[in-house]
Amino acid sequence: MNRAQLRLGFILSALCVLIPLLAPLPLSTDPVAALMARPTMFLLTGVVVLLFALAASFRRLIAILFGLAAATCMAVMTLLLLRDPGIDGTAASGFWMLVLGVWLAAGLCVMVLADLKPQVAWTRRALDLAIPLLFGITVFYLWEVLVRGAGVPAVLLPPPSAAAAKFVSSLPVLSGDFVQTFIRGVLIGYVIGCGAGLLVAILAHRFEFLGRGLLPLGNFFSALPLVGVAPIMVMWFGFDWPSKAAVVALVTFFPMLVNALCGLSASGHIERDLMRSYGASYSQTLTKLYLPAAMPFIFNALKINATLALIGAIVAEFFGTPTQGIGFRISTEAGRMALDMVWAEIALAAIAGMVFYGLVAAAERATTFWHPSIRT
């Protein structure tokens, strides 16, 4: 954290303390709550100013602890104040100063944490987890208070609490949608598309004329719009999961083909000359040289396809599916203006996509541990 950032923090913190003094409206319609809230607000926002002073003196651990404490206290206070009907939807300027204080304290913690350079491995891993976790919690908090404090209609954007409540109450429906979309459509199409792409890449690498002929076709088919291909696949393979798996296979085939073919050609002349000097056959060279050199490229395609597969399956369900599936549920619930269920399905898709991507990344680290990008 440099001096310019600290100066900006001081200015914003001072504004956070001074502006509520000029605010004519109370924090709450309840006079007792307003009387208790305003001094508490000044106290907590004053703590934010102290945080920047601690950070400026390089007492970063103390700054982080005070920052988390101040952000937590102000966040709890604003969420409790939103229970007041006089604030929920018509929040005054004093309330938004509290929200600004939460943002400042959380932002300070994130900046100080990002500036740390721990030497211990488990500390680095904990830090890599803490920074995005704190950032994500802050984003969801701001989403909650901005929607509820500003009175945004639920049909436009429901608060995260409403989506979370709907998620918990609809677990049986969500589990059925997850099985239909992810287990049947995404995983099967992912295996078929990635496997076929890798196999064709090996053949194209072995026979050069295939590579010259397939790559232009790959560029052509990869540019086809998904919304145009999905209805055709539904007509060919029916409304159930095979049509979704076919769309996923088509979406994931060409990224794997291009990346795998590039990886198979990544080995150097010295390594290839060494294998020829040993009298190795093509199959031996493939397993001992070409495929190990291509593994980083293959996993790069697998990670790209992990997100493309889920998107392809969901979009394909918009054009015909049984009465299950994430895409089906999103389209039907959006038509009924049930936006909380739509966001619950979006959260389900996001969680499934993150877990799937994480599993592929973990497999990459376990398989290509020898690669410089993993060792460092």
Q: Please write the tens of the pLDDT for every residue from 119-139.
A: 777 777 887 788 888 888 888
Position 27 scores a pLDDT of 47
Last residue of a domain, one of 126, 152, 178: 152
217 φ/ψ angles, rounded to the nearest 5 degrees = -65, -35
* Model pTM score: 0.73
SS3 62: helix
Single out the residue of 152, 162, 146 nearest to residue 95, CA to CA. 146
Long-range contacts at 188-191 (CB < 8 A, ≥ 24 apart): 188/241, 188/245, 188/248, 189/244, 189/245, 189/246, 189/247, 189/248, 189/249, 189/251, 189/252, 189/309, 189/312, 189/313, 190/248, 190/249, 190/252, 190/305, 190/306, 190/309
Q: Does 177 score more than 60 pLDDT?
A: yes
| 354 or 321, which is more confident | 354
119 and 12 assigned to the same domain: yes
**Weakest-pLDDT range from 163-167, 207-211, 336-340:** 207-211
**Domain stop point among 102, 124, 152:** 152
Residues 216 and 345 in one domain: yes
Distance CA 89, CA 107 (A): 26
Q: Dihedrals φ, ψ of 25, to 5°?
A: -95, 145
- Work out the percent of the chain whose per-residue pLDDT is above 70: 75
C-alpha 132: how far from its chain's center?
Answer: 10
Q: Looking at residue 24, what is its pLDDT? A: 43
On whether both 273 and 130 belong to a single domain, the answer is no
What is the CB neighbour count within 10 angstroms for residue 56? Answer: 15
d(CA 276, CA 279): 5
The residue with greater pLDDT, 71 or 47, is: 71
Higher pLDDT, 339 or 58: 339
Both 286 and 319 in one domain: the answer is: yes
* Mean pLDDT, range 58-71, rounded to an integer: 66
Confidence of residue 32 (pLDDT cuts 50, 70, 90): very low
Q: Tokens representing 297? A: 């490229």
Q: Are residues 217 and 348 in the same domain?
A: yes
Which whole number is the average pLDDT over 134-151? 86
183 and 276 assigned to the same domain: yes
Least confident segment among 12-21, 147-156, 188-197, 298-307:
12-21
Instruction: Indicate if 122 and 263 belong to the same structural domain.
Output: no
User: What is the pLDDT at residue 23?
Assistant: 47
How far apart CA 95 and CA 77 sit, in angstroms, is: 10
| Together in a domain, 127 and 65 | yes
Asked whether residue 12 is assigned to any structural domain, the reply reads yes
- If you average pLDDT over residues 188-204, what whole number do you get? 89
Hey, what amino acid is at 116? L
Q: Per the structure, how many domains does the chain have?
A: 2
pLDDT tens for each residue of 77-108: 777 777 777 666 666 666 777 787 778 778 77
Residue listed under structure tokens 């398989």: 367
Point out the least confidently predicted range of 179-183, 188-192, 267-271, 333-337.
267-271
Residue 158 located in a structural domain: no
What does the alpha-carbon distance between residue 156 and residue 132 come to, in Å, rounded to a whole number? 27
Max distance between CA atoms of the chain, in angstroms, equals 90
Q: Are 112 and 67 in contact (CB under 8 A)?
A: yes
Amino acid 48: pLDDT: 56
| 50: number of Cβ within 10 Å | 15
140 and 178, same structural domain?
A: no
Residues 243 and 138 both lie in one domain: no
Q: Could you give the dihedral angle defined by the CA atoms of residues 356, 358, 364 and 370, in that order, rounded to the nearest 10 degrees? A: 180
Q: Is residue 29 part of a domain?
A: yes
| Predicted confidence (pLDDT) at residue 329 exceeds the cutoff of 80 | yes
Cβ-based neighbour number of residue 279 at 10 Å: 7
Statement: residue 173 has pLDDT above 80: yes
Length of the chain: 376
pLDDT surpasses 50 at 330: yes
Q: How far apart (Å, rounded) are the C-alpha atoms in residues 35 and 81? A: 13
Packing angle between helix 291-317 and helix 188-206, nearest 10 degrees? 140
User: Residue 274 belongs to what domain range?
Assistant: 167-375
Instruction: Report the distance separating Cα 45 and Cα 71, nearest Å.
Output: 9
One-letter amino acid of 287: T
Whether 17 shows a pLDDT value over 60: the answer reads no
Q: Which two tokens stand for residue 350?
A: 């996001």
- Does 294 fall in a domain? yes
Under 8 Å between Cβ of 348 and 313: no
Assigned domain for 333 exists = yes
Cα distances (angstroms) measured from residue 316 to each of 174, 227, 283, 333, 338: 18, 8, 39, 17, 21
Picking from 11, 16, 3, the residue whose alpha carbon sits closest to that of residue 44 is 16
Do 189 and 132 share a structural domain?
Answer: no
Report residue 190's pLDDT band, with 50, 70 and 90 as the boundaries.
very high
Instruction: Retrieve residue 25's tokens.
Output: 């409206």
CATH number at residue 190: 1.10.3720.10
Residues 242 and 201 reside in one and the same domain? yes
What distance in Å separates the CA atoms of residue 322 and residue 177, rounded to the nearest whole number?
Answer: 10
Q: How many angstroms separate the CA atoms of 277 and 271, rounded?
A: 10
Integer Cα distance of 321 and 334 in angstroms:
16
